[in-house]
Chains A and B, each alone.
Chain A
Amino acid sequence: MTDQTAAAPRAVKAERHATLRRLLGTPTGAVASLVVAAFVIAALAAPLVAPYDPNAIDPINRMQGPSAAHWLGTDQLGRDLLSRIVFGTRTALYIALTGTGAALGVGMAMGMIAGLGGKILDSALVLLNDSIKSLPLVLFALALVTIYGASVPALIVIIAISMAPGYFRVVRNQVLVLNNADFIVAAQSMGASRLRLAATHMLPNLIGPILVLIAMDIPAVIGIESGLSFLGQGIQPPQSSWGNMLSEGYTYVRQAPHIAIAAGLPIVLSTIAFTFLGETLRDALDPRRAVRT
């Protein structure tokens, strides 16, 4: 008995190590993880990493190309582009993580309720989520921003509402499948409540697919934030945002193309890195799928 209880955590630990090895064992996974880690470190340590105050203007040195003093050059107000990108990373990841987190919370709660709550509740929630999913995202976002104003909380709400149906569908489907699993039936027969079933038995089995979905959604969220900021409806100055920088860079693309290039680079890099990380994570969590594909 003692041997069996000790063996279970060891098996989980071994499985986690194997997943991590599979994730970092491929060149794509390793590079994607490295780039994502670099973005996370830049975001967390922005004041230490950025060489200048991102909002300090210097009109005399406006629109300067890359140099030893300013590695990526300066923008139309003479602000250091590298510093603004570093602080923009913080903005992008903050919105991506909080927005995705909020979407996950809402989607998961609704998914669990739909999966465990009976047919009528399930149908109503499916209809609600399908209706939200059918809304054109950009128009929906612009309408909300017009009504409530452009701000970080408004952006997070927009992202949460638009992304929640994705998590709802995954969680609901998983719960419906798990409902008939032997260990769930056994737990039910031993008198486990629905809340206990959801929290103790189902949630651990949902983590894998949800992690993959989060990794795949983060670049989409960065795209939404950048897109709205590009349209002037996202992050408001002076807070730096990749989308704002890209929008300003577009205005001066003929005179100072380095601004648009510098602003576009982190958007492209982060999108590719998070997407590859999500794909590699999916393969790592499900090695049979990796072999099939």
Chain B
Amino acid sequence: MTEFRLTRRQALQRAGGGGVALALGSLAGTGAVFAQENTTLRIRNDRDIERLDPATRGGWYDETVMFAIFSGLVRYAPGDDWTWELDAASSIDDSDPLHIGFELRPGLLFSDDHGEMTAEDVKFSYERFADPEVNAVYASDWAALDHVEVTGTYTGIIHLKEAFAPLFTSTLPHASGLILSKAAMEASGTKSFATEVPACSGPYMLDEWRPREVIRLVRNPGWTGPEPYYDRIEILPIGDVTSAETAFAAGDIDCTQIAVNSIPSYEGGRSDLVVKPALGYAWLGMNVENPKLSDLTVRRAIQHAVNVKQIVDATFGGAVDQAHGLVPPPLPGARDEVLYGYDPERARELLAEAGVQGLSLSLTFGTSPDLLIVAQVLQVQLAAVGIDLTIRQMDSNTMVAEAQHPTDHQNIELIIEPFTTAPDPSWVTEWFTCDQIGDWNFQRTCSEEWDARNDEALTISDPEARAARYVALQDELEETGAYVFLYHGVNAWVSKPSVNAAYSADAQWALLRDFTAG
């Protein structure tokens, strides 16, 4: 065994050698050094992954990862507009709205030796949404699909039963358009999957998942499309936004979504701040099957009692505008005024007309701090017209379970549950149909005529006529008295100056494959 011993002369020689090496490294340029440092991106996800199957996925927290590990024929382009660009497809022929032709780029390999992506994989990925055994949560995305015809190894035609306006807005570029490996799925012996991904088709693949700790992505060696910058991406599920901001300030993560109220503290700072209007919608819903709210006059009084502008200003400090409907402004069908706005005098008159005195209501909502502020302002506003409001803040899953329960839904009186959406108005209105009572229609409003007009809106190809239809649909919802539209919100992110971040047009998703060094 050799003893390691260093004389003073040797130490000086080695230190000098190190210094020369550092100097040479500096001469070679700082870019090389930073490139080496920046090959791992550490980013926060506000929830852990749940289901990465395109047909049964959970929400944006899954989709952020899915957009990195799967490719679709087309994808949302990063930037401020909801445009799409080619992804796994080398060309798309959308000249015929009922028959969409596509050609795949040759040589795209699935991970884990599951072979090359072909038109058969596209056919399998899209047609499985109609398979009852898959039980696709997002089956409505492909409701208009008749079948996918395979015309060659890389070519095919998507045949639709009827014109489907959301195809290029919220189906093909979205997670429902992602392509799975037919061979890998068949080998797995399952119809759908959660987090055990059979094979990846995107620039990254899932390397490791430690629940509630880290999701690690590494380059997919089979990916022959545009090379992503980062070798490795570590996604940290941090639910609490304040903790995430603290982690960012400490340098533990490179990029995170921040609270809307934190925006001013990052303005003009060293970090790169991005704020975009969100594709979301929050509203105050009233359960029309609850005896206290079964009278339209009472519901109308509540509509008039709510000062939405004050709520939004109190909650977001002027960073967010009030909503005039459910459909967010960038989308066709967004309204610019409400039918029954703030008028406390009228609210009092209507309550008197309804013969209601000393009305006591409860407001149920999830654990968001923003909603707690909304609720407290509502307490003050409703108290001003003689309505006593009790706050019921609870775990969101518990709240949803209660609202969906066949009998416990009677506990729900007023409710707030913000939704996010995809860039098509059909995604916004589909939750308010009769079929959705017991699922996501917490207000339990039901009109079969409304449902029919909502279904018809999917097939309207003229953009102006379609927008007008969605405005009318929201007017009718407001007429029921069961809705007070609150806000759409904004999404705000910060990243280190050394990171060039990329987001979807509403910044709901960080488009991980488009991140580069700053």
A interface list, Cβ under 8 A from B: 55-57, 59-60, 62-63, 76-78, 232, 236-238, 248, 250-255
Which size bracket describes the interface of B in this complex? Answer: 20 to 34
Of all A-B residue pairs in the complex, the 3 with the closest CB atoms, nearest first, are: A59-B314, A251-B369, A59-B313
Residues on the B chain within 8 Å of A237, using CB? 372, 375-376, 379, 391
B259, B314, B372, B380: the one within 8 Å of A62 (CB): B314
Given A236-B390, A251-B242, A57 and B265 touching (CB < 8 A)?
A: no
Q: Nearest residue in A to B398 (C-beta to C-beta)?
A: A146
When distances are taken between beta carbons in the complex, the residues of chain A under 8 Å from B265 are 254-255
Contact partners of B259 in chain A: CB under 8 A: 251
Chain B residues, Cβ within 8 Å of A255: 261-262, 264-265
Complex CA distance for A275 and B74, rounded to whole angstroms: 66
Q: Which residue of A lies closest to B243 (CB)?
A: A250
A77-B314, A238-B380, A251-B261 given; 19 more Cβ-contact pairs under 8 Å: A55-B380, A57-B376, A59-B310, A59-B314, A59-B317, A62-B314, A76-B373, A77-B373, A77-B377, A236-B390, A236-B391, A238-B376, A248-B372, A250-B242, A253-B242, A254-B245, A254-B249, A254-B262, A255-B261
The answer to the question of B393 belonging to the interface, with a C-beta cut-off of 8 Å to chain A, is: yes
Are A232 and B367 neighbours in the complex by a CB distance under 8 Å?
Answer: yes
Separation of A56 and B381 alpha carbons in the complex (Å): 11
Q: For residue B21, give the distance in angstroms from its CB to the closest CB of chain A.
A: 41
Residues of B within 8 A of A250 (CB): 242
Q: How many angstroms from the CA of A49 to the CA of B317 in the assembled complex?
A: 29
Residues of A within 8 A of B249 (CB): 254
19 contacts between A and B (CB under 8 A): A56-B380, A57-B314, A59-B313, A59-B314, A62-B317, A77-B377, A78-B314, A232-B367, A232-B372, A236-B393, A237-B372, A248-B369, A248-B372, A251-B242, A254-B246, A254-B249, A255-B261, A255-B262, A255-B264
Give chain A residues whose Cβ lies under 8 Å from the Cβ of B375.
237
The answer for the CA separation of A83 and B376 in the assembled complex, in Å, is 17
| Segment 356-374 of B: residues with Cβ below 8 Å from A | 367, 369, 372-373
How many Å lie between the Cα of A59 and that of B261 in the bound state? 13
Distance of A248 Cα from B375 Cα, bound (Å): 13
Residues of A near B264 (CB, < 8 A) are: 255
Q: Which residues of A contact B313 (CB under 8 A)?
A: 59-60
Give the residues in chain B near A238, CB-CB below 8 Å.
Answer: 376, 379-380
Cα–Cα distance between A251 and B245 once the two chains are bound (Å): 11
- In the bound complex, residues from chain B placing their C-beta under 8 Å from that of A251 are 242, 259, 261, 369
Q: Are B380 and A63 in contact (CB under 8 A)?
A: no
Instruction: Tell me the chain B residues, 236-261 only, with Cβ under 8 Å from chain A.
Output: 242, 245-246, 249, 259, 261
Report the nearest B residue to A57, measured CB to CB. B380
Within 8 A of A (CB), among B334-372: 367, 369, 372
0 or 1 for each of B290-310: is its CB under 8 Å from A? (1 = yes): 000000000000000000001
Task: Give the chain A neighbours of B245 by CB distance below 8 A.
Answer: 254
**Contact residues in B for A252 (Cβ distance below 8 Å):** 261
Taken together as a complex, chains A and B put the C-alpha atoms of A237 and B261 apart, in Å, by: 20
The answer to whether A63 touches B262 (Cβ under 8 A) is: no
- Chain B residues, Cβ within 8 Å of A55: 380
How far, in angstroms, from A56 to B379 measured CA to CA in the complex?
11
| Min distance, Cβ A155 to any Cβ of chain B, angstroms | 16
- Provide the residues of chain A in CB contact with B393, threshold 8 Å: 232, 236
* Residue of B249, B313, B317, B373 contacting most chain A CB atoms (<10 Å): B373
**Is the CB–CB distance between A254 and B242 below 8 Å?**
yes
How many angstroms between the C-alpha atoms of A237 and B264 in the bound complex? Answer: 27
- Min CB gap A199→B, angstroms: 43
> Which of chain B's residues has its CB closest to A231's CB?
B367
In the assembled complex, the Cα of A56 lies from the Cα of B372 at a distance in Å of: 16
> How close is B356's CB to chain A, nearest CB, in angstroms?
22
List of B residues within 8 angstroms of A253 by Cβ: 242
Contacts of B310 in A (CB 8 A): 59
Q: Report the minimal beta-carbon distance from A134 to chain B, rounded to whole angstroms.
A: 27
Q: How far is the CA of A76 from the CA of B313 in the complex (A)?
A: 10
CB nearest to A55 among chain B residues: B380
Provide the bound-state CA to CA distance between A76 and B377, in Å.
11
Q: How far is the CA of A232 from the CA of B393 in the complex (A)?
A: 8
What residues on B are CB-neighbors of A236 within 8 Å? 390-391, 393
Docked Cα-Cα span, A263 to B369, in Å, equals 17
Q: Which residues of A contact B390 (CB under 8 A)?
A: 236
Complex alpha-carbon distance, A253 and B265, angstroms: 11
With the chains together, A11 CA to B373 CA distance in Å?
Answer: 59
Chain B residues with Cβ below 8 Å from A57 are 314, 376-377, 380
Q: Please measure, in the bound complex, the distance between the C-alpha atom of A251 and the C-alpha atom of B367, giving whole angstroms.
A: 12
**Highest count of chain A CB atoms <10 Å: which of B246, B261, B375, B391:** B261
**Residues of B contacting A254 in the complex (Cβ-Cβ under 8 angstroms):** 242, 245-246, 249, 262, 265
Closest-by-CB residue of B relative to A251 is B369
